[in-house]
């Protein structure tokens, strides 16, 4: 009989421990915000949306009106009518959207606390033969956003005369390398 009483007491103590743990969990849950995103989070997402739309208009985005673009509150990715933007874009508009999204994230970090490192690197941004006006817009937006102390590096093998034309009215530093920065290693015998 005593063995049964000891087991019963042990089970009651376990239940009391579980009840205390449950009570602690309920208290923690009550301390969580009612909404998944704070007002500050939503302001950052709307700011990203505005930055992307503004840039797309400047870059000559034509697949749909830039005002129709939204940024998902769940994935933080560009959408149209609730669907992630994918293959319906032309190659040049896809590049324009990538530029706008990457610079948009940096743009938001200028006015809000984010985890952005303050660096964006573009390699051959004129892929898909992006129009010169689009590239000029990219350079102007980059210069505007970089005024906050961020670094935006743009590497290209574009003709130097063309690059100089692109940056003629842009506040930037142009570094010209006469030969390849990365090349094959040759082994001399």
Distance (Å, rounded) from C-alpha 9 to C-alpha 18? 14
Distance (Å, rounded) from C-alpha 138 to C-alpha 99? 7
What pTM was estimated for this model as a whole?
Answer: 0.76
Q: How confident is the model at residue 130 (pLDDT cuts 50, 70, 90)?
A: confident
pLDDT at residue 123 tops 80: yes
Residues in Cβ contact with 104 at an 8 Å cutoff, skipping those fewer than 6 apart: 48, 51, 52, 55
Distance (Å, rounded) from C-alpha 55 to C-alpha 133? 12
Helices (H) and strands (E) in the chain, counts: 5, 5
Report CA 141 to chain centroid distance, whole Å. 16
pLDDT digits (tens, 9 = 90+) for 148-179: 889 999 988 888 898 898 889 888 899 998 88
Average pLDDT of the chain, as a whole number: 89
């Amino acid at each position: 009989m005593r063995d049964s009483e000891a087991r019963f007491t042990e089970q009651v103590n376990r239940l009391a421990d579980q009840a205390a743990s449950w009570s602690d969990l309920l208290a923690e849950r009550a301390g969580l915000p009612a909404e998944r995103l704070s007002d500050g989070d939503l302001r950052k997402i709307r700011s990203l949306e505005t930055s992307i739309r503004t840039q797309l208009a400047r870059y000559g985005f034509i697949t749909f009106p830039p005002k129709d673009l939204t940024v998902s509150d769940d994935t933080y990715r560009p959408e149209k009518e609730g669907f992630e933007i994918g293959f319906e874009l032309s190659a040049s508009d896809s590049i324009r959207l990538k530029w706008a999204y990457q610079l948009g994230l940096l743009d938001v970090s200028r006015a809000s606390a984010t985890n952005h490192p303050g660096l964006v690197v573009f390699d051959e941004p004129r892929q898909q033969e992006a129009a010169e006006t689009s590239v000029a817009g990219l350079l102007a937006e980059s210069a505007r956003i970089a005024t906050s102390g961020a670094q935006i590096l743009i590497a290209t093998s574009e003709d130097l005369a063309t690059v100089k034309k692109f940056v003629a009215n842009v506040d930037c530093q142009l570094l010209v390398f006469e030969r390849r920065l990365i090349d094959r290693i040759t082994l001399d015998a």
